[in-house]
């Protein structure tokens, strides 16, 4: 086949350093737009961005020639620099979660990401992330995941 037709949807999750509340509420909408701009500049379509003051969720279309780790590194590095430029003492946690999403679940994941504040009235980032790991069947050590 001469052409590429990738449809690689990834739900990415990463937290702030030590999962501290480092992102001011008023910066969140601007950060979500910034992620979309960074994505555009690097060929990564950002379909949804959301989160709260201690973590971010992104639904991206991964380019066929880019590793997930590279896409997340680009998004985290650029957004961290942007937050620093806005006067914040800011760092993302080193790790991340990346979960494949089927096309049939795209809209549900987008809705979930866009309504993060409501979800976190009921459960913490740690509980949310652990549930996602368990649902995906990934083995993990809580000490390593949250250490």
User: Where are the chain's structural domains?
Assistant: 9-135
Query: What gap in Å lies between CA 131 and CA 2, rounded to an integer?
Result: 40
Helix (H) or strand (E) holding 85: helix 68-85
- The model's pTM is 0.92
For the chain, the C-alpha Rg in angstroms (whole number) is 15
Residue appearing with tokens 């555009």: 40
To the nearest whole number, what is the mean pLDDT of the chain? 93
Whether 134 shows a pLDDT value over 90: the answer reads no
- Is pLDDT above 70 for 1? no
Residue 58 has pLDDT above 80, yes or no: yes
* pLDDT at site 36: 98
**pLDDT at 144 (0 to 100):** 75
47-12-122 Cα angle (round to 5): 95
DSSP-derived pairing of the beta strands 97-101 and 9-15? antiparallel
Sheet holding 45-52, edge to edge: 45-52, 55-61, 9-15, 97-101
Residue 147: pLDDT band with limits 50, 70, 90? low
Overall average pLDDT of the 1-27 stretch: 91
Average pLDDT over every residue of 113-119: 92
Region 9-135: CATH code: 3.30.70.1290
Q: What is the pLDDT of residues 64-77, one digit of tens each?
A: 999 999 999 999 99
């Amino acid at each position: 086949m001469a052409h590429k037709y990738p449809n690689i949807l990834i739900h990415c999750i990463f937290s702030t350093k030590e999962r501290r509340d480092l992102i001011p509420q008023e910066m969140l909408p601007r950060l979500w737009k910034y992620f979309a701009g960074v994505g555009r500049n690097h060929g990564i379509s950002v379909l949804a961005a959301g989160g709260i003051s201690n973590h971010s969720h992104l639904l991206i279309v991964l380019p066929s020639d880019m590793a997930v780790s590279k896409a997340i590194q680009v998004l985290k590095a650029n957004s961290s620099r942007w937050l620093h430029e806005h006067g914040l003492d800011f760092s993302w946690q080193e790790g991340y979660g990346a979960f494949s999403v089927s096309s049939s679940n795209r809209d549900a994941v987008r809705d979930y990401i866009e309504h993060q504040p409501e979800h976190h009235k009921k459960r913490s980032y740690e509980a949310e992330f652990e549930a996602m790991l368990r649902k995906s069947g990934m083995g993990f050590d809580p000490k390593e995941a949250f250490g």
